[in-house]
């Protein structure tokens, strides 16, 4: 036997469901976390990471050279740069990212530019000759990578500021002891004769893209 109050209750429940249905539909479901920058735009994420790595390499190397220059003089700074620079670059090269330095006039032949880097360096040199401030120059591209993937490549120009300690070992008027140390450590050195404001080279960063 059907309960005398069941039918009115069922009808009321149905009416309530019809009335509340649209309202319930307007209540948003729990939102997923906002996508990370890399997920939303992997190129922009790679650019931000590359800029940070380039800045860190330049900052950390300059800090080490200045400290050694003050403590041990120019010859000590040359040896510090020779020994410390590769370690700084290696420490920043993480997660598939490779960080280094290159130039059209390298001191260490291991830093010689590849074809893409040379083209960018020549472009930087042309832009500087046309009046651009080399400290502002950067370039990035997305290129074909390994196994059908994509590779993000970035370069940030290195300029020699006025009164830079870099000129102690890269300038036009080098002390005899500096020349002797450079000739010993870098027999194929090309990185001399610079002046303040010159384009020294660039930080180069390569990393895979998802």
Exposure of 158 by Cβ count < 10 A (0-12 exposed, 13-18 middle, 19+ buried)?
Answer: buried
pLDDT at position 180, please? Answer: 97
- Per-residue pLDDT averaged across 159-187, rounded? 94
- Per-residue pLDDT averaged across 175-182, rounded? 97
Kindly state the tokens that stand for 4.
């005398």
Residue 14 and residue 8: Cα distance in Å, rounded?
Answer: 10
DSSP string, the chain: ---TTHHHHHHHHHHHHHHHHHHHHHSPPPPPPPPPHHHH-HHHHHHHHHHHHHHHHHHHHHHHHHHHHHHHHHHHHHHHHHHHHHHHHHHH--TT-EEEEE-SS-SSGGG---HHHHHHHHHHHHHHHTT--GGG-EEEEEEE-GGG-EEEEEEEEEE--TT-TTHHHHSSS--HHHHHHHHHH-TT-------TT-EEEEEEEEEEE-
Q: By the 8 A CB rule, do 97 and 51 touch?
A: no
pLDDT at position 68, please? Answer: 94
- Per-residue pLDDT averaged across 78-91, rounded? 94
CA quadruple 22, 27, 29, 33: dihedral positive or negative? Answer: positive
Q: What are phi and psi of 141, to 5 degrees?
A: -150, 155
- Per-residue pLDDT of 114-155, as tens digits, reads 999 999 999 999 999 999 999 999 999 999 987 789 999 999
- Per-residue pLDDT averaged across 66-77, rounded? 94
Task: Check whether 11 has a pLDDT greater than 70.
Answer: no
Q: How sure is the predictor about 39, in pLDDT bands with cuts at 50, 70 and 90?
A: low
> Number of C-alpha atoms within 13 angstroms, CB side, residue 183?
7
Kindly state the tokens that stand for 15.
């009416």
């Amino acid at each position: 036997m059907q309960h005398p109050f069941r039918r009115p209750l069922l009808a009321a429940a149905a009416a309530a469901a019809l009335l509340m249905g649209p309202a319930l539909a307007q209540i948003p479901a729990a939102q997923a976390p906002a996508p990370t920058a890399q997920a939303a735009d992997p190129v922009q994420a790679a650019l931000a990471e590359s800029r940070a790595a380039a800045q860190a390499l330049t900052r950390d190397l300059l800090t080490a050279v200045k400290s050694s220059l003050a403590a041990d003089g120019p010859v000590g700074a040359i040896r510090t740069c020779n020994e410390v620079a590769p370690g700084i670059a290696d420490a920043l090269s993480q997660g598939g990212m490779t960080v280094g330095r290159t130039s059209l006039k390298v001191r260490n032949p291991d830093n010689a530019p590849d074809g893409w880097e040379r083209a960018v360096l020549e472009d930087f040199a042309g832009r500087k000759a046309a009046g651009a401030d080399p400290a502002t120059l950067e370039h990035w591209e997305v290129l074909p990578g390994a196994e059908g993937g994509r590779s993000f490549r970035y370069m940030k120009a290195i300029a020699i500021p006025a009164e830079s300690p870099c000129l102690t070992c890269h300038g036009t008027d080098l002390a005899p002891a500096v020349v002797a140390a450079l000739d010993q450590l870098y027999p194929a050195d090309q990185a001399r004769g610079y002046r303040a404001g010159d384009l020294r080279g660039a930080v180069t960063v390569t990393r895979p893209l998802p």
